[in-house]
Structure 1
Amino acid sequence: MRKLVAAHTTEAVLFAVIIAISIVLSFATERFFTLGNAFDLLNISAVNIIFAVGLLVVLIAGGIDISFAVAASVVQYVTALLLERIGGGGWVSGLLIAGSAGIGLGLINAFLILRFRIISIVATIATFNVYFGLLMFFTRGVSIYNLPDWLTTRVIVYEREMADGSWAEITLPVVVMAVCVAVTWLFITRTTTGRQLYAFGDNPEGARRFGINIGAMQFIAFGWLGMMAGIAGLMQAHYAQEVVPNALYGRELDVLAAVVLGGARLGGGKGTVLGCVLGVLLVSITQNGLNLMGVSPFAFKMIVGAIILVAITLSSARLENLLPMRTRKGDDR
């Protein structure tokens, strides 16, 4: 029983903090504690949550990826161009193209890390710049507005009219997000591969000696994030009804901060889907509340920076374990 409580301490604390912040914001602004604003939060957070569950898998496996948001932008353009080539397509073909393109970009990261023995954060910094540079070079920063009707038509799953005549709506990205969350949870908790990812992230050398294929773990983790990034990119295009080259630029740090805040450990081996979702919601609620209060968006950036700093500080003990054994023994002397 104690182990079960300890395992969910982070989620319980996050939930309590979300409740406390929501209560404060409900008194600070009249618009916050409304059904319409709650649904808007879900719609806006859907893309980041899809990103987050993909990034969670990479962090569990002991890696860090900051290129996924730019990769999603690349996938948006590739998907839009291919759909035009095939005459418009539909949701099935769109998701297949976006997911496959995202997997391909994720596998490039895994290949670089394995082939050239590059630290994951360094490799993804490189691909971040390469992907974004190529995207801006070939698109010249021009947005795509001529998208298929099925992609731009707003799909409303649930709606309710409010007292003031406005409508509170839950849209398709929320449903897709829920599916991605459920599938990721099943993958990392109910499959042998998911348990191997935890073992690999917690102790790579021990996992290798136990017979776990290190290369396969890297490709699976980064491929999973790539697939989620591709799906998130398509959902962003659907929500915005256009493809903008820099629309997702900068999301990577917000999502990374949220996932680590949700309990994922820098260095690998720890993290839950529930904590990940709560972390994103906490960041989104904070940003939404500050916006409703008229606070400068730069203040939110400072908060995200502080979250990352605290997360790295709390994970410093784990990061020390990543150092070579000889170095640590030398320090002890």
Structure 2
Amino acid sequence: MPRFLSSIGATERWLILVIACICIGLSLATDTFFTLVNAFDLLNSSAVNVIFAAGLLVVLVAGGIDISFAVGASVVQYLAVIALMKLGGGNWAIGLILAAFFGFCLGAVNATLIYHFRIISIVVTIATFNLFFGLLMFFTGGVSIYLLPDWMTRRVILFEHETPAGWAEITLPVLVMAVVVLATWFLMRKLSLGRQIFAMGDNVEGARRLGINIGAMHYLAYGWLGACAGIAGLMQAHYAQEVVPNALYGRELEVLAAVVLGGARLGGGRGTLLGAILGLALVAITQNGLNLLGVSPYAFRMIVGFIILVAISMSGETLGFLTERMRRSRRADDVASGGAE
């Protein structure tokens, strides 16, 4: 076995094999799939979801679930653009900082409710999903923003190549995606904070006994996802050249299915960035292939639902498990507080 394949997990190897088979099949079924233009278009359009996936992986490894991040990204789009216009337009640096800050604040709301009020993460994020989206639609009236700062409407092309099928281009969202993925990899694999997140996701009580600040880890995990979502929202606005309230609505299930398919365990303690990216690549390639073959988009939604169902069934980390996990954590907190007294 090549050294590269032997250094990655079984899930990642299977995903690589499945992706290769699907790509071969689509290349034979359609003339437009195996082209540089389609490959680069797929990379550009998937950049936002990869940024989402990097942040969501941190939350899943920490033992939580968050389905509010896509709606949070929509909220950040509005907040960031309005703030930038009030600041005179700003630039990319200010825009990314504002987006990450607003996103972190929304993630901190989830962390506060989950940690301090001891509510199961999926229940909290279902609530904030509806809360964030409801507030967004109430205050905006569902009206899109087309007047963006000039620097946001200028396409930033990092690489382009002319082919018989047209121009193949790699744009700014791909670079931002690469930076976010690298930063997430550094956090999870090179810093002690990442090891603490893995430890908390694997065993909350054991992590607490080791002296890990569980509250800080919650804020780090959900704040990181929020910041990633904010950056992804800004990239989506740049890519679409407009801010639409429901443009990212529904992305959360697609990204969740991809990350879980990549080996992240519902319940925490396990997951890799490579697996998350490969899972997302499989989902994106499947969607792209169905579009090229003229298959109804509803078929793709069925596939995503099936992936989530299979992943939850195989993981054994059901809502009951998560409830019991939260109950054990609460008992441990009570014991610790009693000992302190």
Partner of 1:143: 144
Letter in structure 2 aligned against 1:217: M
Provide the rounded CA distance (Å) in 2 between the counterparts of 1:78 and 1:173: 20
Tell me the SS of whatever aligns to 1:212. coil
Q: Taking structure 2 as the reference length, what is the TM-score of the superposition?
A: 0.92
Partner of 1:259: 259
Provide the rounded CA distance (Å) in 2 between the counterparts of 1:318 and 1:213: 26
Partner of 1:159: 160
Provide the rounded CA distance (Å) in 1 between the counterparts of 2:144 and 2:16: 39
Checking the alignment, whether the CA contact within 8 Å between 1:110 and 1:218 is kept in structure 2 is: yes
Offset of residue 322 of structure 1? 4.7
Partner of 1:214: 214
Offset of residue 116 of structure 1? 1.2
Partner of 2:25: 24
Provide the rounded CA distance (Å) in 2 between the counterparts of 1:68 and 1:60: 16
Provide the rounded CA distance (Å) in 1 between the counterparts of 2:323 and 2:56: 23
Partner of 1:76: 77
Checking the alignment, whether the CA contact within 8 Å between 1:161 and 1:167 is kept in structure 2 is: yes
Provide the rounded CA distance (Å) in 1 between the counterparts of 2:321 and 2:82: 46
Checking the alignment, whether the CA contact within 8 Å between 1:267 and 1:319 is kept in structure 2 is: no
Any idea what the Cα deviations from partners look like across 1:290-332, whole Å, max 9, x if unmatched? 000000000000000000011001111687765649x99xxxx
Tell me the SS of whatever aligns to 1:289. helix
Tell me the SS of whatever aligns to 1:184. helix
Tell me the SS of whatever aligns to 1:220. helix
Provide the rounded CA distance (Å) in 1 between the counterparts of 2:52 and 2:85: 26
Tell me the SS of whatever aligns to 2:142. coil
Tell me the SS of whatever aligns to 1:160. strand
Offset of residue 7 of structure 1? 5.6
Letter in structure 1 aligned against 2:155: R
Tell me the SS of whatever aligns to 1:170. strand
Tell me the SS of whatever aligns to 2:40. helix
Partner of 2:187: 187
Tell me the SS of whatever aligns to 2:169. strand
Tell me the SS of whatever aligns to 1:27. helix
Partner of 2:115: 114
Q: CA RMSD in A?
A: 1.9
- For structure 2, the residue ranges without an aligned partner over 5 or more in a row are 329-341
Tell me the SS of whatever aligns to 2:160. strand
Partner of 2:335: none
Provide the rounded CA distance (Å) in 2 between the counterparts of 1:261 and 1:147: 36
1:231 pairs with 2:234: no
- How do residues 268-307 of structure 1 correspond to structure 2 at under 5 angstroms? 268-307=268-307
Tell me the SS of whatever aligns to 1:147. coil
Offset of residue 286 of structure 1? 0.1
Q: Taking structure 1 as the reference length, what is the TM-score of the superposition?
A: 0.94
Partner of 1:198: 198
Partner of 2:334: none
Provide the rounded CA distance (Å) in 1 between the counterparts of 2:7 and 2:311: 19
Partner of 1:311: 311
Provide the rounded CA distance (Å) in 1 between the counterparts of 2:96 and 2:29: 41
Q: Identity of aligned pairs, percent?
A: 68
Provide the rounded CA distance (Å) in 2 between the counterparts of 1:320 and 1:123: 16
Provide the rounded CA distance (Å) in 1 between the counterparts of 2:129 and 2:212: 29
Any idea what the Cα deviations from partners look like across 1:47-102, whole Å, max 9, x if unmatched? 00000000000000000000000000000000010011010000011001000000
Checking the alignment, whether the CA contact within 8 Å between 1:69 and 1:252 is kept in structure 2 is: yes
Provide the rounded CA distance (Å) in 2 between the counterparts of 1:163 and 1:152: 27
Provide the rounded CA distance (Å) in 1 between the counterparts of 2:35 and 2:245: 33
Tell me the SS of whatever aligns to 2:184. helix
Checking the alignment, whether the CA contact within 8 Å between 2:152 and 2:238 is kept in structure 1 is: yes
Any idea what the Cα deviations from partners look like across 1:262-286, whole Å, max 9, x if unmatched? 0100000000001111111110000
Checking the alignment, whether the CA contact within 8 Å between 2:264 and 2:276 is kept in structure 1 is: yes
Partner of 1:67: 68
Tell me the SS of whatever aligns to 2:100. helix
Provide the rounded CA distance (Å) in 2 between the counterparts of 1:169 and 1:7: 30
Provide the rounded CA distance (Å) in 1 between the counterparts of 2:7 and 2:152: 44
Partner of 1:249: 249
Checking the alignment, whether the CA contact within 8 Å between 1:71 and 1:230 is kept in structure 2 is: yes
Change (3 A) 1:58 1:317: closer
Tell me the SS of whatever aligns to 2:211. coil
Change (3 A) 1:322 1:137: closer
Letter in structure 1 aligned against 2:303: I
